[in-house]
Structure 1
Amino acid sequence: MSLPTASSAQEPLAPLLTPEGLALLAAHRPAEAGSDAAATELTLRLRKDGHPAELVSAAVHQLRLRSRGEAKFGPFADSLFLTRAGLEQATRLPVAARHAQRFAGAGLSSVADLGCGIGADSLAFASLGLAVTAVEADELTAAAATLNLMPFDDARVIHGDATTVDLEGVDGVWLDPARRDTSSSGTRRIFDPEAFSPPLSFVESLADAGREVGVKLGPGLPHTAVPENAEAVWLSDGGDVVEATMWFNRLRRPQVRRAAVVVRGNSSAELTASTWFPGMDPEAAALVGDLLVPDGLDGLGRFLVEPDGAVIRAGLVADLAQQIGARGLDPHIAYLSCEEEPSTPLGHAYRVVQVHPLKSKHLRAWAKSTGVNRLDVKKRGVDVTPEQLRREVLAGLGKNKNGRAATLILTRVGERRAAIEVEPLG
C-alpha cells in the first residue's frame, strides 16, 4: 500500500519515512513538544539547525501527538505513528488488551478489525498471537496503522471499506465504528448509531449471520440501541467512562446481559446482571423499587456511596446496592445510603456528617462558623451549578490559611432538596 504524499494529507507521514525523518524523530522525545510553547521552541531550533520546513513541521506535529498519546499508550506512544483524529478515538492500551483477551478466551485464532483506526486494538490482538486483518477507510489513518503493525508478521492492513471486505477464513470480527466527523476545524462527535461508519445495523447483520462479533461504541450508547442478543459492557478507566462494548454469539457470556467494569491502575472489578435494563425488564425494575430508603432523607444512613459512572451507565445501581447492603435515596438518582461502612471498588464512599438545607444563606453561615475555606461540590438531580454555589458560599470568607476543606453532595428525594456534608473515605 502506498503512503500518502505530503501534499495529499493535512498530517503528512511521508516526510518522516526518509532516513532523515526517522533520524529526526529518534533524536527527540515527545516531551520536547509536550506543550504549544515547547513545540514552537523545538520548531525554531530545528529550523535553525538547517532541517527543511516541511520535515520539521511533520516531525514536531508527530512528537506533539506522541506526547498526548502517552495518556493512552504509556511509553509505547514513543514508537507509534499517530494522527489527530486517530488518537482521539483510539482505544487505551489496557482496555484494548481486555478486548483481545475476549477473542483469545473464546478460542479464536484470527480477527478482522473493521475500522481499525491507527491500529490500537489490532496491536493488542497481534500481541496475543491472533492473525489480524485490519481495515481502514481513511488513507492517512490506514498508513499510520500499517506503520504501527509492521513488527507483526501475521498482521496486514487494507485501505478500504469495512462493509465490503472479504471475511472468508476469519474467525472473529471486531469493529470500532467512526463516531466523529473530521474537518479542517477539528472533529465533531456523532450520536446517531446509524450515522456511524460502519452503522450499527451492519454490526447486527454480521452477528445475525452467525459471526463472532465485538463492537466498541461510545459510553453514551442508549439502552434501547442494544439488541437483545448482545451482551453490553460499560467500562471506566481511571474514573472516566471510556466505552460501551457489545459482544455477540461465542464472544457473549451466556448468563450476562449487561455489565460494568471499573479499572483503576492495575486492578479491575466487574458487576454483572442477567436481567435486561431497568425500564425495559420488569424484574430489573422491581429490584430498583425494592431497594429504596423508606423515609428518603429522613432515613439517610451513616454512609453514602456514589456508584462509578460505568455502573450508572449500565443501569446497575440497584444491583450494586444489593451487593453492598445499601438502599437508594430516589429511583432516579444514583446515590446509595447504608449504615455499615461500605467497601467496594465500584464506587466512591463517604461518611455522612450533617444534612443541610440547600440554601446559599444557610451554607454561607455554616462555612463561616466552621472555618471552611475549600469546598468540593457534587450534585445529582438538582438544578444548581456547583461552581456558582461554591462562590456564593465562600464569598467574603477571605483566605484563612487555618481553614478546612469540606465536601457537599447536593441532591433531592422527591421534591426535597438537601446539601449533604460528607467526608470521603479511603
Structure 2
Amino acid sequence: MKPINETDIEKAKVLLKQGIPKEKIAKALGISEDACEIAAARLRNEKLGKTSYNNLYMTLTDLRFATNEEVAKYRAERLKCGHIVEIGCGIGLQSIAFAKTCKKVTAIDIDERKVGYAGKNAAEAGVKNIEFMHGDALKLAKNIKKADIVFCETERDAEEEERKIENIRPDIKKVLETCGKLTKDICIEVPPQVKEIPFDCEKEYLSVGHELNRLDLYFGKLQKADISAVALPAGDRLEKKGEEELSPSPPLKYLYETDGAVKKAGLEPYIPAKGLFICGEYLTSEKKLESPFFKAVFEIRRKCRGLKEIMSALKKEGCGKVILRIKISPDKYWEERKKYESGLEGNETCHLFSAKNEMLVCKKTP
C-alpha cells in the first residue's frame, strides 16, 4: 500500500467535496484508504472547529472522541507541572496542550496507529518536549522513575446505554494503585454520564459553549473541592460549598436554562444570583438576572391552557416559528411542532414550555 502523504490527502479532499465516496477515491487515485480517511476527518473538522490545527492525522472516529481544544487548554493550565505522564493519549491533542505548559510530557497509548498519528500531530503543532510510547500504559508506567502528575483519559464502549464506572478502561482502581507509586496527584477523565463515583476525589464537570463535555476526577493535592463545574471557554467556575437548596416556585416572569456542566453537577443553588427559584427542570425569577452559568434566558409572555389559548397567544406574539421545550418523543416532535405552527404568519420565534397544567409561551431574550 502506498505510504500516506500530504499530496494524496489534498487530492482526496477535493474529490470528497464533490461527493465521491472514500473507497472509490482510493481505487481511482491508487492511494491508501487511510489517506482518504484522514482527508474526510480534516473536512469534518473544518465544519466542527474542534481543533484549530488544520493538517492533523486522524480518522473520523478519532475526531469524534478527540479532546476539544478549549478543554485541552484548560486542563493543561490546571495540570501545569514539570513532568506529566499521559495515559491514553490517542492522536495527541491533549498531549500537545500539555507540552505548552509542562516541561516534559510522556504520552502513552496502546494503539500503535494512534501513537504514530500523535507524533505527526505534535510535529505539526511544533512541540518537541513529548515522548510518545506505544504499549500497555500500566506496564510502561512501572518503568517511569518520576512524575509530578499523571493524567489518564479512559475508554468506554461508545454504544453503551448506561455509563458505569466498572466498564471503563483501564480500570480506575488499577490506575490509582499503579500510578500512585509515581505520584498521588492524578487526574482521570471519565464519561460525564456516570452516575456513581465511589472515590474520594473532586468531580469537575466541564462544558463548552454551555454543552456538557467532560468529567474529570482529581486526586491528591489536585483536589480543590468535592464537586465543581467550569464553563468554557470563559473558564467561569462553581464549587459546592456547604448544603444549599433553591426554593420551588411556579413560573415567574423569566425562565433560565442552565449551563450543562452546572446542571449535571447539581450546582444550580450555588449560582451567585439573588431571587432565583427552581421551577421543574428550569430556574425562574421575577426580575431578569445575569450569570455566565445561564445557557439561555426566556421571558414568559403568556400562560395558556388548551390548544385554542396557545394558538391565540402565538398569533398575538407575531410568531411564525415554534420551538417545543416539552417532553415529547423525538419521532413525534415535528408532527407536534407543525400542529402549533399551522396558520401562523408572523416572523417571531416563540418557545413553548410546560408547567404543571399550563403552557408557557416565551421569547428568548438577548
TM-score range, shorter chain: 0.7 to 0.9
Amino acid at match of 2:77: Q
Q: State the Cα distance separating 1:190 from its structure 2 match.
A: 7.0
Alpha-carbon deviations, 1:10-43, whole Å to 9, x = none?
Answer: xxxx720xxxx23333x5595x3665x4454996
Q: Pick one of 82, 92, 95 that aligns with 2:71.
A: 95
* Gap change, CA 1:207 and 1:200, over 3 Å in 2: same
Amino acid at match of 1:363: I
2:340 to 393, 406, 409: 393
TM superposition shift of 1:376:
1.4
For these two proteins, the number of residue pairs brought into alignment is 358
Question: CA-to-partner distance for each residue in 1:261-302, whole Å, 9 max, x for gaps?
Answer: 1125xx332222234xxxxxxxx3xx22xx214xx32xx332
Structure 1 position 175, deviation (Å): 0.6
Residues 1:153 and 2:128 aligned together: yes
Is 2:7 aligned against 1:23? yes
In 2: Cα distance, 1:352 partner to 1:121 partner: 43
TM-score scaled to structure 2, two decimals?
A: 0.86
C-alpha displacement of 1:180:
2.8
Deviations 1:222-258 (A, max 9, x none): 1x3152x3111111112321111111112222xx221
- Name 2:254's counterpart in structure 1: 303
Residue 218, structure 1, aligned to residue 202, structure 2: no
Deviation, structure 1 residue 365: 4.0
Aligned match of 1:248: 219
Point out where structure 1 has 5 or more consecutive residues left out of the alignment: 1-5, 7-13, 182-186, 276-283
**Partner of 2:203: helix, strand, or coil?**
strand
Give the match for residue 140 of structure 1: 113
Q: CA deviation at 1:329?
A: 3.5
Q: Give yes or no for contact 1:219–1:242 (8 Å, CA) kept in 2.
A: yes
- Contact 1:353 1:422 (C-alpha < 8 Å) held by counterparts: yes
Question: How far is the alpha carbon of 1:383 from its aligned partner?
Answer: 8.1
Aligned partner of 1:417 in structure 2 is 357
Alignment of 1:65-214 (within 5 A): 65-70=41-46, 71-76=48-53, 78-104=54-80, 108-150=81-123, 151-165=126-140, 166=142, 167-180=144-157, 191-205=163-177, 210-214=183-187
8 Å CA contact retained: 2:72, 2:97: yes
Partner SS state of residue 211, structure 1: coil
Whole-angstrom distance in 1 between the partners of 2:334 and 2:176: 43
What amino acid is the match of 1:349? V
Tell me the TM-score normalized by structure 1: 0.75
Match of 1:259 in 2: 228
Question: What's the counterpart of residue 326 of structure 1?
Answer: 275
Range moving further from structure 2, 111-120 or 300-309? 300-309
More helix by share: 1
| CA deviation vs aligned residue, 1:204-239 (integer Å, no higher than 9, x gap) | 4357655211111222121x3152x31111111123
What is the alpha-carbon root mean square deviation over aligned residues?
2.9
C-alpha contact 2:91 2:118 (8 A) present in aligned 1: yes
For residues 129 and 39 of structure 1, the distance between their equivalents in structure 2, rounded to whole angstroms, comes to 43
Task: Give the Cα separation in 2 of the matches to 1:315 and 1:248.
Answer: 21
Distance 1:370 1:148, change over 3 A: closer
1:344 paired residue among 282, 291, 308: 291
| Cα separation, partners in 2 of 1:383 and 1:153, compared to 1, 3 Å | closer
- Equivalent positions of 1:263-302 (< 5 A) are 263-264=232-233, 267-275=234-242, 284=243, 287-288=244-245, 291-293=246-248, 296-297=249-250, 300-302=251-253
Q: CA deviation at 1:421?
A: 1.8
Question: 2:191 touches 2:215 (CA, 8 Å); kept in 1?
Answer: yes
SS at match of 1:420: strand
1:57-68 matches, cutoff 5 A: 57-68=33-44
- Cα 1:39–1:247 change in 2 (3 A) is farther
- Aligned partners of 1:28 and 1:230: how far apart in 2? 49
The residue type equivalent to 2:165 in the other structure is P
Instruction: Report the alpha carbon displacement of residue 87 of structure 1 after superposing the two structures with TM.
Output: 1.9
- The answer to whether the aligner puts 1:314 opposite 2:265 as a matched pair is yes
2:198 is equivalent to residue 236 of structure 1: no
| Cα distance in structure 1, aligned partners of 2:350 and 2:289 | 21
Match of 1:405 in 2: 349
The C-alpha deviation readout for 1:92-117, integer Å capped at 9, x for no partner, is 1121011111111xxx2111111111
For the residues of structure 2 that align with 1:190 and 1:114, how far apart are their CA atoms?
24
User: What is the match of residue 10 of structure 1?
Assistant: none
In 1, are the aligned partners of 2:51 and 2:68 still within 8 Å (CA)? no
Decide whether aligned partners of structure 1 residues 403 and 128 sit closer, same or farther in structure 2, where only a CA change above 3 A counts.
closer
| Per-residue deviation, 1:192 | 2.1
1:353 and 2:320 correspond:
no
TM-aligned CA distance change 1:33 to 1:232, over 3 Å:
farther
* Aligned partners of 1:126 and 1:132 also within 8 Å: yes
